[in-house]
Amino acid sequence: MPTTLNATQTLGATFRANPAVEAAIKSILAELACSQQQLTGARPANGATRENLHSWLQRAADVRGRSGLYPYLGSGVGNGPLVELADGSVKWDLINGIGVHMFGHSDPMLVEAMLRASLSDLVMQGNLQYNEESIEFAEILRDEAAAHSRIRHCFVTNSGCMANEAALKLCQQKTNGAPRIIAFADCFMGRSTTMSQIGDTSAYRQGIALNVLVDYLPFYEEEFGERSMDRALWQLDQYIARYPGQHCALIAELIQGEGGFNSAPRDFFVALFERARKAGIPIWDDEVQTFGRTESMFCFEQFDLGEYIDVVTVGKITQACACLYTAEFNPRAGLLSGTFSASTSAFAAGVAILKRLKSGGFYGPNGSNARLFDAYRQHAESFVRSHPQWFPAIALSSGGESRRFTAGKGGMMRLTPFGGNKEKINKLLSNLFEDGVIAFSCGHGPYHLRLLPPIGVMKPEQFKSVFEIMERSFARMT
């Protein structure tokens, strides 16, 4: 029997509330739970399905023109931090597509949100045609940012890189097209033509025209303390004096991601932001990787820097991405738009994630983000003490040595074996993948082992299994 429409309901609302639809969703979730119960730890590949994986990987290499970093192809089912691959193997996923999947694999809450979103009339939403999901997503982000800053507006877009492109436009328009940008050494901004030039990784801009004017500041180094701050301030003063009125933005990752999970004390940023603000240079906070992972939803809140922030960008764990800005940076018509903002399912998942972040006890010094990092640090420091042969002193690019082998904050975790040697760390990553742990690297010399675990679902006690695998992977190094 067709559902009838009363005076207060739309057909869409009535369809979504249909008891048959509700029953179908509950049935799917129940079947998913049965499958997930079989994934309890890492396991090797199944010989019967190994060839299937290799066949797909060859197809991927052929169509793209080169192989991927890992022989990874998911089966479509996981259980939190565990993911099953197409060859039947199960691995601890501690990088999550470089930090996208905060709630891991096959999270029932997100599966339900996406199932409901699949009933929508729109596959993709954009700046011309959208439903309520995109508005709610932007409102939650805006309201959370506004609680601790001057942020008032939110523009939603389809990637962290495009959020950064939007931020650059806002800053340029506000400064009447000032051509120069101030960024930090070892920063990463994305891989568009412009963002590749701002990011401080030469390999990412090989063969492209260099037409963006970027002035780099040295980032904070704990080993040098106040001297590090003095050096950065001196360099900023030189740029301001040399190019007065020519900078459209000072870009800062409060915790550098690809640069090596480098952090700094609040005073470091305050000194630089005060100097930049006095010179009329907007402050742009790139939180595409840090958002949601520290002891507050926005990293600028943890550092108590909200009063300085003019523009902030977020992405990755939010599924859809966004550029947020103050009322003073609200652009003129036509500057920001886009055919695609995100899929309806991405918005639905993003709204569910943001609501869960608000109410799930993740933040504060005793929140689950902090507790998970403490568990990692305890395991990592014990690992270092037990195996000093794998942890020689780390040569710093600026001179001197460091024995700070573990670092990071919240869900951003770093371990530095083999003196930060790139080739050895790449070999270690390969060993880890084979043995059942997916990780990645960061830094530009020294290099580090990078972990971005699914902090929304990973339990502190699960690091025991991870480090048992690590011990085997390290032992296979020659």
Asked whether residue 70 is assigned to any structural domain, the reply reads no
Residues 273 and 190 reside in one and the same domain: yes
If asked whether residues 424 and 469 sit together in one domain, one would say yes
**How many structural domains comprise the chain?**
3
Q: Are residues 259 and 171 in the same domain?
A: yes
Q: What is the pLDDT of residue 58?
A: 94
Name the average pLDDT for the chain: 95
Q: What is the pLDDT of residues 362-372, one digit of tens each?
A: 999 999 999 99
pLDDT of residue 317: 96
* 237 located within any domain: yes
Residues 176 and 325 in one domain: yes
Q: For residue 112, is it within any domain?
A: no
Question: Are 179 and 265 part of one and the same domain?
Answer: yes
Is residue 258 located within the same domain as residue 292? yes
Confidence at 8, pLDDT banded by 50, 70, 90:
low
* Residue range 177-187: mean pLDDT, rounded: 97
Residue 377 located in a structural domain = yes
Instruction: Determine, yes or no, domain membership for 59.
Output: no
Instruction: Tell whether 322 and 199 lie within a shared domain.
Output: yes
pLDDT in tens, 233-268: 999 999 999 999 999 999 999 999 999 999 999 999
Do 406 and 354 share a domain, yes or no? no
Domain that holds residue 322: 124-359
Which of 328, 359, 390 terminates a domain? The answer is: 359
Please give the average per-residue pLDDT across 441-449, as a whole number: 94
pLDDT over threshold 80, residue 1:
no
Which pLDDT does position 224 carry in this prediction?
Answer: 87
Query: What is the Cα 372 distance to its own chain's centre?
Result: 17
Radius of gyration of the chain measured on its C-alpha atoms: 23
| pLDDT single digits (tens) 95-114 | 999 999 999 999 999 999 99
**Domain closes at, from 336, 359, 382:** 359
Whole-angstrom CA distances from 238 to 92, 182, 235, 242, 243 are 47, 12, 5, 6, 8
Helix (H, G, I), strand (E, B) or coil at 80: strand
Please indicate, yes or no, whether residues 428 and 315 belong to a single structural domain of this protein: no
pLDDT band at 448 (very low <50, low <70, confident <90, very high): very high
Q: What is the CATH number of the domain that holds 350?
A: 3.40.640.10
Determine what percent of the chain is predicted with pLDDT higher than 70: 98
What does pTM read for this prediction? Answer: 0.94
Do 373 and 234 share a structural domain? no
> Which residue, chain included where needed, has tokens 């049935």?
27
pLDDT of residue 304: 97
Which segment of 224-228, 243-247, 276-280, 317-321 scores lowest on mean pLDDT?
224-228
In this prediction, residue 472 has a pLDDT band, given cuts at 50, 70 and 90, of very high
Q: What is the pLDDT of residues 303-319, one digit of tens each?
A: 999 999 999 999 999 99
Quick check: 42 pLDDT over 90?
Answer: yes
Put residue 93 in one of left, alpha, beta given phi > 0 → left and psi -120 to 50 → alpha: beta
Residue range 44-86, pLDDT digits in tens: 998 778 888 899 999 999 999 999 889 999 999 999 999 999 9
Domain end point (choices 359, 393, 412): 359
Is residue 345's pLDDT more than 70? Answer: yes
- Answer left, alpha or beta for residue 454, where phi above 0 means left and psi between -120 and 50 means alpha: beta
Q: What's the confidence (pLDDT) of residue 225?
A: 86
pLDDT at residue 478 in the model: 73
What is the identity of the amino acid at 173? Q
79 in any annotated domain = no
pLDDT digits (tens, 9 = 90+) for 122-168: 999 999 999 999 999 999 999 999 999 999 999 999 999 999 999 99
Least confident of 271-285, 312-326, 386-400: 386-400
Q: Based on the domain organization, do 279 and 323 belong to the same domain?
A: yes
> Exposed, middle or buried, 467 (CB in 10 Å: 0-12/13-18/19+)?
middle
Nearest one of 267, 317, 312 to 285, comparing CA atoms: 312
Q: Does residue 6 surpass a pLDDT of 60?
A: no
Domain assignment present for residue 159? The answer is: yes
Q: Are residues 130 and 185 in the same domain?
A: yes
Is-contact 170 311, C-beta < 8 A?
Answer: yes
User: Would 118 be classed as within a structural domain?
Assistant: no
Is the distance from CB of 252 to CB of 286 less than 8 angstroms? yes
